[in-house]
Amino acid sequence: MLSTHALDFFTTLLGKENVYSDKAHLIAYSYDATRERFEPEAVLFPRHEQDVSDILKYCNEHKIVIVPRGAGSGFTGGALPANGGIVLAFEKHMNKILEIDMQNMVAVVQPGVVNMELQRAVEEVGLFYPPDPASQEYSTIGGNVNENAGGMRAAKYGITKDYVMAIRAVLPNGDIIKAGKKTIKDVAGYNIAGILIASEGTLAVTTEVTLKLLSKPKMTKTAMGIFPTVHSAMEAVYKTMASGVTPVAMEFLDNLTIRAVEQTYHKGLPVEAGAILVTDVDGNLEEDLDFQLDVIGRVFRENGCSDFHIAQNKQEASDLWFARRNASQSLSVYGSKKLNEDVTVPRSALPALLDQFYKIADKYNIKIPCFGHTGDGNVHTNVMVDGKDPEQVKIGYKAIEEVFQATIDLGGTLSGEHGIGLAKAPYMGMAFTPEEMALFQSIKRAFDPNNILNPSKMGLE
């Protein structure tokens, strides 16, 4: 437990309204989206960067563990205080959009800013922040940067790391550093921002992020295609993108997912189809959108698409997106417990990956419905089991291990979006060699020699 000395130090520094150590609050900050629970010993709300520096300096001297936390919406336990210690939370004070700079098209924000709040603010002035994780309504930029969040628009617009121009951060010893600038080009010094992205709060505490913005595309259109097989759908995806058309989103549902949505919502979906693709295109010109949709329609039909439909208005677009939007919650028809992963392969390997998944499902007599982002090879893989049957749950986890192995064998990654945290830490040895793990560990040590910052995450000490 935290010493009285430590609590006194934090209370004097921050004021008692910014130090929580009562049971109710400790419970409130003990969980994230994984449903695992670990109680911190205190929750601190720094008012500004200097507070973060003072807290870290103290904790480093006294070897007190610090876990930075965004919205607690992570799927892998990155923000859980698995070793106790202090949770550092940014939602009270360090949650401001500091600047939207029109001339340089960048935003400067504090870590506690909610993704969607930023999206809305920049769109009001005609700009655009593309990364749109499913958690966008509540997850924060600090969390997005530390997990390198993706989203639907990744196929065209990339992911969080493609928008981070600079990070201000506090090192475990309290040193304040700035990495990067408001410039597109900067090749002076090591690319510290590059390594802080996706580091899951294990190397430094982010205090400010400078993000690249784009000009907001003036229009978006939606289309849908029905394919006999996943293979034919994927063939259409490659050929579309090689034809010079990069859709904003290119999402798929496999046959099992289509059936689940139909069984739940009765929308008249084609339950014999191998796959449905739903796609958005955007741009500034009607002619450009029509050109993109012409190419997509032609390529889709050349690859076996039996039904290609372009939404004529917003309502139709929303209808076309209905199945994809409601995919996840429909899957309970296959089991009460969903073990969902976000494995990612090079997009060409997607059909082979799904073949492997269905083989694993057959072997264990369970269902593994899949949907997700064909444009970038990111598959939401759902191992469905009966949550009340411990034997089934055990089988589910065995299947997950095989899902990971199949992914890695096809050149893929354990996680496209959710990170490693605690949940996937046991699988790091499947994905990385001992030499690579040793390198991670030595980088961790270089930043954090006393290992006070979010220890035990990512398979590290």
Amino acid at 331: L
Site for a copy of itself (CB under 8 A): which residue of 158, 228, 297, 387? 158
Taking contact as CB under 8 A, which single stretch among the options 115-123, 261-269, 313-321, 443-451 is the one that binds a copy of itself?
A: 443-451
CB of 414 to a copy of itself, least distance (A): 4
Does residue number 161 form part of the binding site for a copy of itself (CB under 8 A)?
Answer: yes
Taking contact as CB under 8 A, which single stretch among the options 28-36, 43-51, 268-276, 285-293 is the one that binds a copy of itself?
A: 285-293
Cα–Cα distance for residue pair 397/339, rounded to 1 Å: 8
Cα–Cα distance for residue pair 170/176, rounded to 1 Å: 5
Q: Which two tokens stand for residue 198?
A: 């996706």
Does residue number 313 form part of the binding site for a copy of itself (CB under 8 A)?
Answer: no
CB of 206 to a copy of itself, least distance (A): 14
Task: Give 8 or 286: the residue with its C-beta nearer to a copy of itself.
Answer: 286
Task: Give 28 or 195: the residue with its C-beta nearer to a copy of itself.
Answer: 195
Does residue number 32 form part of the binding site for a copy of itself (CB under 8 A)?
Answer: no
Instruction: Using the structure block, give the residue that is written with the tokens 């930075």.
Output: 68
Taking contact as CB under 8 A, which single stretch among the options 34-42, 55-63, 193-201, 224-232 is the one that binds a copy of itself?
A: 193-201
Does residue number 140 form part of the binding site for a copy of itself (CB under 8 A)?
Answer: no
Does residue number 182 form part of the binding site for a copy of itself (CB under 8 A)?
Answer: yes
Cα–Cα distance for residue pair 376/158, rounded to 1 Å: 9
Cα–Cα distance for residue pair 102/213, rounded to 1 Å: 9
Does residue number 416 form part of the binding site for a copy of itself (CB under 8 A)?
Answer: yes
> Which residues on adjacent β-strands are paired with residue 195?
none
Task: Give 69 or 457: the residue with its C-beta nearer to a copy of itself.
Answer: 457
Cβ neighbours around 220 below 10 Å, total = 15
Site for a copy of itself (CB under 8 A): which residue of 5, 63, 218, 363? 218
E-state strands within 205-254: 205-212, 214-215, 219-227, 249-254
Site for a copy of itself (CB under 8 A): which residue of 36, 54, 91, 186? 186
Cα–Cα distance for residue pair 318/367, rounded to 1 Å: 28
Task: Give 265 or 291: the residue with its C-beta nearer to a copy of itself.
Answer: 291
Cα–Cα distance for residue pair 295/298, rounded to 1 Å: 5
* Nearest residue to 417 (alpha-carbon basis) of 146, 167, 228: 146
Cβ neighbours around 34 below 10 Å, total = 18
Q: Which two tokens stand for residue 352?
A: 């082979």
Taking contact as CB under 8 A, which single stretch among the options 10-18, 19-27, 143-151, 326-334 is the one that binds a copy of itself?
A: 143-151
* Nearest residue to 323 (alpha-carbon basis) of 375, 374, 278, 362: 278
Q: Strand order of the sheet with strand 176-180?
A: 97-101, 106-109, 205-212, 164-170, 176-180
Q: Site residues for a copy of itself, window 221-280 (CB under 8 A)?
A: 238, 241-246
Does residue number 215 form part of the binding site for a copy of itself (CB under 8 A)?
Answer: yes
Cα–Cα distance for residue pair 426/412, rounded to 1 Å: 17
8 Å CB contact between 9 and 42:
no
Cα–Cα distance for residue pair 9/14, rounded to 1 Å: 9
Cα–Cα distance for residue pair 346/99, rounded to 1 Å: 37
Q: Site residues for a copy of itself, window 372-411 (CB under 8 A)?
A: 373, 375-378, 411
CB of 151 to a copy of itself, least distance (A): 9
Q: Site residues for a copy of itself, window 320-359 (CB under 8 A)?
A: 344-348
Site for a copy of itself (CB under 8 A): which residue of 55, 106, 261, 360? 106
Does residue number 453 form part of the binding site for a copy of itself (CB under 8 A)?
Answer: no
Site for a copy of itself (CB under 8 A): which residue of 4, 23, 24, 287? 287
**How big is the site for a copy of itself, counted in residues (CB under 8 A)?**
96
